[in-house]
Structure 1
Amino acid sequence: MKRRVSSGSPLEPILGFSRAVRTGGQIMVAGTAPIEPDGSTTPGDAAAQMERCCAIVAKAIADLDGDIADTVRTCLYLTDRADFPAVAAVHGRWFGTARPATTTLIVSGFIRPEWRVEIEAEVLCA
């Protein structure tokens, strides 16, 4: 049985996707961008945007009765490699206990040009 949650992103109904899906003991969180509840982009630098992304991911995991400490994989997407140290520090604060397998990719851009980071996550529930 699948369970799904929405973060309220205005892109979810347009693209036809869920923020996260739980099937059995696995939670998969879609690529998560720095979107505020009103649909605007989180202001500030890459670290501020990463904080917002992680908060959205953590809420999605909790809404599906998961624990962020059980995260087994994350994938970070950055538009500027110079942002890596700041984004890595935020990732470490949110996922340091879990120590997931993590990949970081530098990409040419996102749907909104002001986005500097996105994150995906997978959780295996205990």
Structure 2
Amino acid sequence: MTSLTVLPEPTPLLREQAAPLSSIVQAAGLLWLSGLTPRDVTLGHREVGDIEQQTIVVMENIRVLLEHAGRSFADVVRTTIYLTDTSDFEKMNEVYKRYFSSPYPARSTVTVAGLVHPKYRIEIDVVATAAGQ
């Protein structure tokens, strides 16, 4: 059986979230980050602007969680991106490329009917190597 370690929530807003989830879980030498939306994890502000602004907030949220776990974007091995509008794909990619460099992590991008907040256009979940791996 794989050992599962739940890392403490990095911000008060994440400690107070209503959903029954852990933001960062370590198992099998990997870090698993729950899906992050355009709700700023440090300030609580919901970014409901265009896809570029929403993607920036999501990526900065990912940075906060990775740094809390002692990791960086260079340690990410897989992402899953959920978009509510396929036409946002190109502009989302422009922002995404600012945070990663080659070789890029494995990735899936899917279009979904909606996300938890009706104005959210993107959610990203991440798998990264755990510290010392």
Q: Name which one, 1 or 2, has greater alpha-carbon Rg.
A: 2
Of all paired residues, the percent bearing the same amino acid is: 26
Q: Which residue of 1 aligns with 2:104?
A: 99
- On the 8 A contact 1:6/1:12 being kept in 2, the answer is no
In the alignment, structure 2 segments of 5+ residues that lack a partner are none
CA distance in 1, matches of 2:65, 2:36: 10
Corresponding residue SS for 1:90:
helix
1:113 aligns with 2:118: yes
Corresponding residue SS for 1:72:
strand
Pairing 1:9-88 to 2, within 5 Å after superposition: 9=13, 13-23=17-27, 25-36=29-40, 37-88=42-93
CA distance in 1, matches of 2:64, 2:128: 13
Aligned length: 126
Corresponding residue SS for 1:29:
strand
Q: TM-score w.r.t. structure 2 length?
A: 0.82
Letter in 2 for 1:106: T
Distance 1:108 1:7, change over 3 A: farther
Letter in 2 for 1:109: G
Please, which moves more after superposition, 69-78 or 94-103? 94-103
1:11-54 Cα distance to aligned partner (Å, 9 max, x none): 96311212222346321111100003443311420111011001
Corresponding residue SS for 1:4:
coil
CA distance in 2, matches of 1:109, 1:96: 29
Corresponding residue SS for 2:17:
helix
Corresponding residue SS for 2:108:
strand
What RMSD, in angstroms, separates the aligned Cα atoms of the two structures? 2.1
CA distance in 2, matches of 1:75, 1:108: 16
Letter in 1 for 2:26: R
- On the 8 A contact 1:30/1:121 being kept in 2, the answer is yes
Letter in 2 for 1:84: F
